[in-house]
Amino acid sequence: MVVAVNVLLVVAAVIVFALAAMWLVVGAMGITGRLRRNRWVGVRADATMRSDQAFAVANRVAAPGELAAAGILVLAGILTLGVGGYWSLVFAVVGLIAAMFVVGIVSAYGVRAAAAVPADDPADDCGTSSCGACSLRGACSNESAQA
């Protein structure tokens, strides 16, 4: 029975430390602006995925909370390995729940910040040349057409 508890605690600690490492990397990349829009990590919602700028803003806003969640998980992992018995498992579960709560809250703030980013207007450069119409934009180019 003691061996089964120890194996369970080590598995719980490994899961907690792996999530801490993931949120540490995502938070560090988000706060520095190096996290590019992707479909796996970061704050992903309709508002954040509409442009690279919205994704960067959302992750920059959420990054401090993700770093705090990583810190919570590191402490939970240390307590999971340091305290004996079933209390270790309690520390792992409570730390995981607290970290997920923090990440959920800061992700909501990130989505709100991304929603405030103005949408890209595809017609921004339309009608700015001497042609005067979007349909003629390529026809008035000074470059010769390649055949």
Write out 84-107 in H/E/C secondary structure.
Answer: CCHHHHHHHHHHHHHHHHHHHHHH
17 lies in some domain: yes
30 band by pLDDT with thresholds 50, 70 and 90? very high
Number of domains in the chain: 1
137 lies in some domain: no
146 lies in some domain: no
36 lies in some domain: yes
pLDDT score of 28: 96
20 lies in some domain: yes
139 lies in some domain: no
- Consecutive H or E run containing 133: none
DSSP character at residue 134: G
DSSP character at residue 135: G
145 lies in some domain: no
Domain that holds residue 46: 2-122
pLDDT score of 126: 63
Tallying the residues shown for the chain, one arrives at 147
Per-residue pLDDT tens digits for 41-77: 999 999 999 999 999 999 999 999 999 999 999 999 9
Tokens 């103005």 found at: 118
Say if CB 42 and CB 59 are below 8 A apart: yes
98 lies in some domain: yes
- Can you give the pTM of this predicted structure? 0.77
Q: Closest Cα to residue 43, out of 25, 24, 60, 20?
A: 60
